[in-house]
Structure 1
């Protein structure tokens, strides 16, 4: 295989830089995954959203269909922690179109002091957040390297760049994703495939909503007060919006971003520098 070259900037439509590309977004039914799917669709990509909630996935596909200029879209059920499920889903996605872009967004979180964290809790988080990224990445990598183009972006977290109390398994899983990303970026450096992470801080999402409810139940504060506390580590004193993560992801997926690989881009209002 000859060494891959960056796409010519003159051949790319600035308004729709992903026209002709096929992007798979795991955990694409809500939150950050939904925002990324919509943004990549607006940039011209054909979209496959994957996840476990079929109704939510179908709603995202319908939303993409209502957007002017968006590429076609489909949804597929998948359990990213299950090897056979990943093989079936990505086989079906490949029939829709060759996969050019993979967004590893599926993830779960839980909180507890480490001394009260069970092995089952640890294994569940590792299975989705780390093993799932491995399985999905492995499913697309051979064809990407064979074609000489690919963009793999994993939604890690600032928890992959620093520690947070009471979420040791989550932090460990996200540190693992960043480590795997750096390793794979070196393996693929001359193939035309780039491998990166986006690392959001606390984001206005279901995970933060659940954390705020837990804090409110335990402390007697309101959920809004709990969200103020959650966002206090952000120098901008706010939650990150899913659309901000989507914009950073789009940039990493652009064919002209070929020199961006092995990076962990913090979208966190200055929390991590």
Structure 2
């Protein structure tokens, strides 16, 4: 594990930061990817990681960043965005934003690292999707569609590289205690008049365990998939949400 290099996108906060910390604790060399250079510098210094500032919606910039980073055996496609709107108010631009980051961002990063993984005969691609990629939710049709697409790519690519020593899996968390969920809570309070506690309870009730998931729980699932014992686990969409 100490000789393996892991790249984590969207790595400066929330789930991505928890994953980066866990993999660094497991002895991996970690490279953090994000858009905010000041946050990247601060986070990288905390765990002794490398970093690259890159906008995943820019294909040329992604290719240049990965060329600078060099080969990696593990890629965690965590970067993502979420917006909500009724379907009839979800314009093309909203769907395009969701797919540009949540789907094409992951595609571009995977395309950059996959050839070396195949050459090495060992690799792990782990896509952070969502339970919204497995079922529908009201008012997030564009987000759910993008996460369904990410799960579909996961399953299809896994079949292509299964015989080459590379596994491709998706982690599908429910509501996690992150900044993104905090934004959702604030939106519920503003639009419905519910209290903050009531909004949190509503989201927590959607998780099987009846509580918000901690980012470290998602990171633990990622770490397990990175190990040699997970060599036969591929093409899976693993839900994280139990108590």
**TM-score range relative to shorter protein:** over 0.9
Q: Which runs of 5+ in 1 are unaligned?
A: 1-17, 66-72
1:230-245, aligned counterparts within 5 Å? 230-245=203-218
Match of 1:24 among 7, 14, 35: 7
Q: Which runs of 5+ in 2 are unaligned?
A: none
Match of 1:103 among 61, 76, 80: 76
Matched position secondary structure for 1:188: helix
**Offset at 1:255?**
2.3
The answer as to 2:55 corresponding to 1:82 is no
Matched position secondary structure for 2:124: strand
Contact residue 9 and residue 77 of structure 2 kept, 8 A:
yes
Matched position secondary structure for 2:164: coil
Normalising by structure 2, report the TM-score.
0.97
Normalising by structure 1, report the TM-score.
0.87
Matched position secondary structure for 1:132: helix
Matched position secondary structure for 2:137: coil
Q: Which moved more, 1:101-110 or 1:216-225?
A: 216-225
Contact residue 78 and residue 89 of structure 1 kept, 8 A:
yes
Partner of 1:162: 135
The CA RMSD measured in Å over matched residues stands at 1.0
The answer as to 2:103 corresponding to 1:134 is no
Q: Size of the alignment, in residue pairs?
A: 243
Partner of 2:191: 218
**Offset at 1:92?**
1.2
Partner of 1:147: 120
Matched position secondary structure for 2:151: helix
Contact residue 174 and residue 206 of structure 2 kept, 8 A:
no
**Offset at 1:82?**
1.3
In terms of fraction of residues, the more helix-rich structure is: 2
Write out per-residue CA displacement over residues 214-239 of structure 1, whole angstroms, 9 at most, x where no aligned residue: 11111222223211111111232100
**Offset at 1:60?**
1.7
**Alpha-carbon distance in structure 2 between the residues aligned to 1:111 and 1:167:** 5
**Offset at 1:44?**
0.7
Write out per-residue CA displacement over residues 141-192 of structure 1, whole angstroms, 9 at most, x where no aligned residue: 1111011111000000001111111000111111111111111111001101
**Alpha-carbon distance in structure 1 between the residues aligned to 2:105 and 2:32:** 15
Matched position secondary structure for 1:190: helix
The answer as to 2:27 corresponding to 1:44 is yes
Partner of 1:256: 229
The answer as to 2:201 corresponding to 1:228 is yes
**Alpha-carbon distance in structure 2 between the residues aligned to 1:223 and 1:59:** 30
Partner of 1:122: 95
Partner of 2:173: 200
**Alpha-carbon distance in structure 2 between the residues aligned to 1:223 and 1:165:** 20
Contact residue 212 and residue 224 of structure 1 kept, 8 A:
no
